[in-house]
Amino acid sequence: MLKIENLHARIEEKEILKGLSLTIGEGEVHAIMGPNGSGKSTLASVLAGREDYEVTEGTVTFNGKDLLDMPAEERAREGLFLAFQYPVEIPGVSNMNFLKAAVGEIRKHRGLEALTAKEFLQLVKEKSQLVELDGQLANRAVNEGFSGGEKKRNEIFQMAMLNPSMCVLDETDSGLDIDALRIVSEGVNAMRDGKRSFVIITHYQRLLDHIVPDFVHVLYKGKIVKSGTKELALELEEKGYDWLKEMEEAK
């Protein structure tokens, strides 16, 4: 589904990703962990098509298409969704209008008919329950005045609305209390259907207690230095990253 090969990317003059390779199959959940500054969020931004980052080498194929060749909106329409670490506020734009426009564009791109107002509302109702999002929030301006937890739940709600095939969650667990973490995780788990794939970027193992990954990768200095299964996350939790760093420096 998503194939990243030898990806190099930099922001301004600083190279952050230095030859990252990763293959994600249909329905798989991959967790990406790693110390601060290892390039986790850069990877999310590069996949989503943020222009501040320049890809200098490597390829990314998404469902057989060249992902790097597409502008950001086309990546989204093709089914790549990024749940932001810091969702922005858009004052004066209601969540509903925002989603209506987004769902409209995405359906159009996929050759689906536009939803009627009734169908759309039905979908909103159904998907907002997934993350226990108050109906009121749907009518408020996008993320405006939302608490940290509400913003993250709103990201998952949007993800459910847009029905992507590839979900990238960038530190969705940061700033969440235990209840919110559970709600968000349950929302994500409900969307695991054996077809949809996930890349879950996180610092902490605790999220992976709730969303159990098929694979865990450690990113360090812009490369994946170790891959394993969920046990690797537990090992990292216990031992920290230092042993991996030392191993890597010794090479």
Shortest Cβ distance from residue 52 to other proteins (Å)?
8
**Distance between CA atoms of residues 183 and 186, nearest Å:** 5
> Alpha-carbon torsion 234, 6, 165, 81, what sign?
positive
- In the complex, the smallest distance separating the C-beta of residue 53 from other proteins, rounded to whole angstroms, is 11
Burial class (CB in 10 A: 0-12, 13-18, 19+), 170: buried
Site for other proteins in 141-160 (CB under 8 A): 141, 158
- One of 54, 90, 112, 147 touching other proteins (CB under 8 A): 90
Pick the closer one to other proteins by CB: 77 or 221. 77
Q: Which of 60, 67, 76, 201 binds other proteins (CB under 8 A)?
A: 76
Structure tokens at 79: 């089914």
84 binds other proteins (CB under 8 A): yes
Q: Alpha helices of the chain — where are they, by DSSP H?
A: 40-48, 72-78, 95-109, 117-130, 135-139, 148-162, 178-191, 206-210, 230-239, 242-250
Please check whether residue 201 is in contact with residue 169, taking contact to mean a CB–CB distance below 8 angstroms: yes
Nearest approach in angstroms of CB 167 to other proteins is 12
| Matching residue, tokens 């502008």 | 71
**Interaction of residue 226 with other proteins, rule CB under 8 A:** no
> Least distance (Å) from other proteins to the CB of residue 100?
11
- Span of 15-23, 28-36, 94-102, 179-187 interacting with other proteins by CB under 8 A: 94-102
| Binding flag, residue 11, other proteins (CB under 8 A) | no
Write down the residue that tokens 């739940």 correspond to: 153
Residues forming contacts to other proteins in the complex (CB under 8 A) are 48-52, 71-73, 75-77, 81-82, 84, 87-88, 90-93, 97-99, 101-102, 105-106, 109, 141, 158, 162
